Amino acid sequence: MLTLNLSNIFLNQSAENKLEVIELVGQKMVEAGYTTEAYTVGLKMREAISSTFLGNGIAVPHGTPNTRDAVIKTGVVILQFPRGVDWGDGEKVFMAVGIAACSNEH
């Protein structure tokens, strides 16, 4: 079962652009022991394929199936950006929910 720990919620973050957000999400996942650094490449690859912006100021960065081997254990990190970050196409992200999943556990 997936459990969200308070230690994986990061308030009052700042970033200049979505690439910085994605790199920060990747860093937090590594620090939490969910992924290796290689997973950040997957986060960037996924974003290049299609935007992870969901709407209502929320993005859900996640990897691609071919970077699943960089996942150590399933986990979620949440980063809040009070000033918002331009996500392109006129969209602004205030919350990024990073997901790393070993399978369909998420």
Q: Exposed e or buried b for every residue in 45-64, given b needs 16+ CB within 10 A? A: ebbeeeebbeeebbbbbbbb
**Within the chain, where are the H helices?**
18-31, 38-49
Could you give the residue numbers annotated as active site? 62
